């Protein structure tokens, strides 16, 4: 006689995913469906903000939705934050907005991954894509970064990280806003959101951005293109000066000379590099290392990689100082590639990292 855990017989035909899921749960198998992940993401997002405004305890902050449908007007939205809430809260708050919304084009996603990652991108799985869509993921695009000349305020777009791969509708008004800020050729997909950050005085925090701030005559928008041009010039000059003075170690990952590249370097058993929105750390793990051998932990200013019980890399935690800037732990990932653990840290903004570790 078959036991309770015996597989389904011909009399128990499981024709739908729901029937299979119910059968597995009934037989004590723990599974997590896309719906489970969606509910978890919504609950986590709800827990980050109060249910109601309490004067003196919480504060209201305005932001704007730019619908992909041009026939819809801009929408004024508001979040309620703790009075002392620091950092940019919008990526986490908006994540549930980007759950689902369309099936990811797996072929297009793999082609894009191969363009960005080479042969490693071919290993991208449908399950990984489904997971990214099911949990929601917010990407941040800096329209203008904080600087002394703009009162240390930055304006950012928030979008579905895999919106294009889901086949979401193009957002022409968001494209136009980026062009007005000096970014030609940028294309966005799906509904977009715009918010403002006050970087100084510390701590960095969300502040109001209203629909009226999208008007052509807005002071920030009139100055944005010049601000971005000046920022790029300063970054180029800084990188050149640091290289001339030997202030950083340059590694030619791509085989080039490294001229004009962002700061990157190496340490004991690792090397690191960066893009506008990510920092990559490649940790020596040893030949034959499997994914099951690796454990990684991410905190805003702390990252740790353990292989077979041995700490191979750690910055922050009990080993201060921490990371050069804070990262978004929920968006940080790691993979195994030929004896290396490749850690991808998601920046909280597009600020340049001059080093991997903060200055003590």
- State the CATH number of the domain containing residue 318: 2.60.40.790
pLDDT value for 42: 64
This prediction has a pTM of 0.54
285 occurs within a structural domain: yes
Same domain, 204 and 265: no
293 occurs within a structural domain: yes
pLDDT value for 3: 46
| Residue 152 domain boundaries | 37-227
pLDDT value for 30: 65
357 occurs within a structural domain: no
Q: How many domains does the chain have?
A: 2
Same domain, 319 and 213: no
Is residue 222 within 8 Å of residue 214, measured between CB atoms?
no
249 occurs within a structural domain: no
Q: Which of 227, 249, 268 is the last residue of a domain?
A: 227
Q: What is the pLDDT of residues 231-261, one digit of tens each?
A: 777 666 655 555 555 444 433 333 333 444 6
130 occurs within a structural domain: yes
Residue 221 CA neighbour count, 13 Å, CB half = 16
Which is nearest to 68 in space by CA: 181, 159, 179, 182? 159
Q: Which of 227, 252, 272 is the last residue of a domain?
A: 227
pLDDT value for 45: 57
21 occurs within a structural domain: no
Same domain, 121 and 207: yes
pLDDT value for 107: 60
Same domain, 219 and 275: no
Same domain, 59 and 126: yes
59 occurs within a structural domain: yes
Same domain, 109 and 41: yes
Same domain, 148 and 48: yes
pLDDT value for 260: 47
Say how many C-beta atoms besides its own lie within 10 A of residue 28's C-beta.
Answer: 8
Same domain, 283 and 200: no
Q: What is the pLDDT along the chain (360 residues), one digit of tens a residue?
A: 444 444 455 445 666 767 777 777 777 666 666 667 666 666 655 554 444 667 778 899 999 999 999 999 999 999 999 888 888 999 989 988 888 766 555 665 555 544 444 444 455 555 555 555 556 678 888 899 888 888 889 999 999 877 877 778 999 999 999 999 988 878 899 999 999 999 888 888 999 999 999 998 899 999 998 888 887 776 666 555 555 554 444 333 333 334 446 788 888 899 999 988 899 999 999 888 888 888 888 888 889 999 988 899 999 877 678 898 888 887 788 888 888 999 999 888 777 888 898 865
Same domain, 72 and 201: yes
Same domain, 79 and 221: yes
Residue 82 CA neighbour count, 13 Å, CB half = 9
Q: Which of 227, 251, 279 is the last residue of a domain?
A: 227
Same domain, 158 and 286: no
């Amino acid at each position: 006689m078959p036991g309770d855990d015996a597989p389904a017989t011909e009399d128990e035909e499981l024709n739908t995913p729901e029937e299979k899921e119910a059968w597995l749960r009934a037989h004590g198998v723990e599974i997590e469906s896309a719906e489970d992940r969606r509910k978890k993401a919504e609950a986590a997002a709800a827990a980050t903000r109060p249910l109601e405004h309490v004067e003196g305890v919480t504060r209201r902050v305005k932001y704007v939705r730019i619908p992909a449908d041009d026939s819809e007007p801009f929408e004024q939205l508001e979040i309620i934050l703790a009075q002392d809430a620091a950092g940019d809260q919008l990526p986490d708050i908006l994540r549930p907005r980007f759950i689902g919304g369309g099936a990811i084009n797996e072929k297009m996603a793999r082609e894009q991954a191969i363009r960005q990652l080479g042969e490693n991108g071919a290993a991208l799985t449908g399950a990984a894509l489904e997971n990214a869509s099911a949990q929601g993921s917010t990407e941040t695009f800096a329209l203008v970064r904080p600087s002394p000349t703009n009162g240390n305020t930055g304006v950012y777009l928030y979008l579905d990280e895999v919106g294009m791969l889901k086949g979401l509708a193009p957002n022409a008004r968001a494209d136009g806003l980026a062009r007005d800020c000096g970014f030609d050729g940028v294309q966005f997909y799906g509904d977009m959101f715009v918010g403002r950050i006050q970087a100084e005085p510390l701590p960095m925090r969300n502040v109001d951005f209203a629909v009226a701030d999208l008007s052509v005559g807005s002071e920030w928008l009139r100055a944005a293109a010049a601000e971005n041009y000046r920022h790029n010039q300063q970054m180029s000059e800084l990188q050149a000066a640091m290289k001339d003075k030997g202030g950083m170690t340059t590694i030619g990952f791509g085989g080039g000379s490294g001229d004009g590249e962002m700061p990157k370097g190496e340490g004991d058993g690792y090397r690191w590099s960066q893009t506008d929105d990510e920092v990559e750390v490649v940790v020596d793990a040893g030949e034959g290392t499997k994914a099951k051998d690796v454990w990684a932990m991410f905190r805003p200013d702390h990252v740790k990689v353990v292989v077979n019980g041995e700490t191979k890399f750690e910055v922050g935690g009990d080993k201060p100082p921490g990371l050069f800037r804070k990262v978004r732990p929920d968006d940080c990932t790691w993979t195994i590639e030929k004896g290396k653990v490749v850690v991808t840290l998601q920046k909280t903004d597009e600020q340049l990292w001059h080093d991997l570790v903060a200055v003590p």
